[in-house]
Amino acid sequence: MLATALAVGTALAGTGALASARSYTVGDPQPELAPFSLGAAGGGTGSGAVLPDGTLVLASLSATGTSAVVCTLHPGGRQCASTATLGAYASGGAQDDFTGLPEVLATGGADVSVVVEDCCSIPVFSGVGGAVVFDSTDDGRTFSREIPAGVIQGVGAATFADDQLVVASSETTALNVQALSPPPYVALTTPANPNNRYDGDTSLTTYKGGVLVASDDARGDTLVEYAPSGSNFNLSSSYGSPVGIFDGEDLAGVSGNALLTYSSTSTPGAFLRFFNGKAFGPRYQVPEPAGAVAAHWSVQEAGGLVHVFFLDRSDASDICSETTYNGVQWSQLLVDNSATTAGALVPVLGPSGAGLVYETDVVAPPLLAQPVLDYQSVVVRLARLRAPAGKRTTLTGQVVPRLGGQVVRLERRTSIGHWSDISALHESAAGRFAFTVPGRTYSYRAVVAYEPGYYLYGYSNVVTLTAVPKRKS
């Protein structure tokens, strides 16, 4: 089903109201919200990044694991504008596999890197495997050869901090972190070891130039360490004591200053906390609709707004999302298209919060993407609600944000309830527009064109003009 905004009622009672870039009026139709295919299924979780020019770069492993496929999308695009295949090491009859997660990192301008673990024949890694890097300088269309860069095992997370590619392990006996120097790479041999607990899920993010490292252990507890900007990210001592230990909570992800966890006990629920540079603040429970069976939580902070996504397994595995700035006030819950084959949701959002949710780790092809677009608020009013039959009046409107030059269509409801275009113009630089309408009884709305890759179509409120018959003389 196309994005249905649920009236969550008592399920979200007490959370307060919050104007959010993801709270929108549902229009009819909304083709810009339909999911689309990105091609063949991958062998595991993928990742992505949004470059400064709006290009989305997505990577996933092939089904065999011997290569990774990189897809680039233009803003608003619904198919790969280009694809690149990155091959694992092969020589002398040996064929390596990529394992774990191919991490996409935007490193400035048109530069982007993909980091992944290659196992296990590369001579420099002495038969144990390690992190390799593929670099692109043209928005991800083409890439360098495979470059050995670090001995860290099982790349499970990555971030770009202090001009370095910082990667972390996943599913290892102890948490390892390694910062890969800028090109030309030197294959590092010693990773940092922020803690000695079993490392299950891992997530990294850049906070004020430093690195927040979150991981959970075999007991279902989450630990977070922080190495400030200017630290040597390859030294265990740079991470100091944990800045957060959260027992009974598994890790969903960390992004910006936001940490998302979910209960590892019989008590359900997901929780959000914010980092202030030294410690995490209070725990806020993420609102869930009554009866939901939430799974595969994920989080991304964009422009100060925290986007939380999850699959609701109680209702056809719908993609659900909500946003907050502070954990206290939340947007309305949004329910997007069903993702029945997805094992994970990976948000790939730009600074405004627009982008997509990448359905990865799928059990059957194809890979799908769910667009995530910002909202245009459109309000219209009539100069008068009642007018003498045959006498024209004016319908005016205001659009927020003020994009300027967007096409605005005036629609009239027909006798059978459909909407019909009757006129069009462009909104002004101030986001205003005006139409002249006849003195007949009709209901109207205005629809503002969407900005591909950034904004939804904007649907206004409905206003009705009532024609008053002329008095007989």
The pLDDT of residue 302 is: 96
User: Which of 348, 372, 396 is at the close of a domain?
Assistant: 372
Angstrom distance (rounded) from CA 331 to CA 284: 14
* Pair 133, 94 in one domain: yes
- Residue among 256, 260, 257, 282 nearest 270 (CA): 260
* Pair 313, 409 in one domain: no
What amino acid occupies position 255?
S
Residue 185 lies in a domain: yes
* Pair 429, 460 in one domain: yes
The pLDDT of residue 44 is: 65
User: Which of 320, 348, 372 is at the close of a domain?
Assistant: 372
* Pair 321, 399 in one domain: no
* Pair 135, 186 in one domain: yes
Domain around 461: 377-468
The pLDDT of residue 473 is: 60
Residue 165's DSSP bridge partners are: 160, 180
Residue 29 lies in a domain: yes
* Pair 367, 390 in one domain: no
* Pair 395, 276 in one domain: no
200: left (phi > 0), else alpha (psi -120 to 50), else beta?
alpha
SS3 123: helix
* Pair 349, 427 in one domain: no
Angstrom distance (rounded) from CA 333 to CA 314: 15
Please state, rounded to an integer, the average pLDDT across all residues of the chain. Answer: 88
* Pair 127, 87 in one domain: yes
Give pTM, 2 decimals: 0.89
User: Which of 372, 404, 434 is at the close of a domain?
Assistant: 372
pLDDT tens-digit series, residues 132-165: 999 999 999 999 999 999 888 889 999 999 999 9
* Pair 303, 443 in one domain: no
pLDDT tens-digit series, residues 269-316: 999 999 999 999 999 999 988 778 888 899 999 999 999 999 888 877
Residue 110 lies in a domain: yes
Write down how long the chain is. 473
Residue 453 lies in a domain: yes
Residue 227 lies in a domain: yes
* Pair 386, 362 in one domain: no
* Pair 276, 389 in one domain: no
Comparing 33-47, 126-140, 186-200, 224-238, the range with the smallest average pLDDT is 33-47
Residue 116 lies in a domain: yes
Give the Cα-Cα-Cα angle 168, 227, 213 (nearest 5 degrees): 35
Residue 473 lies in a domain: no
Q: For residue 31, which phi and psi values (nearest 5 degrees)?
A: -65, -25
Q: What is the CATH number of the domain that holds 403?
A: 2.60.40.10
SS3 237: helix
Residue 167 lies in a domain: yes
Q: What is the CATH number of the domain that holds 233?
A: 2.130.10.10
Q: How many domains does the structure of the chain reveal?
A: 2
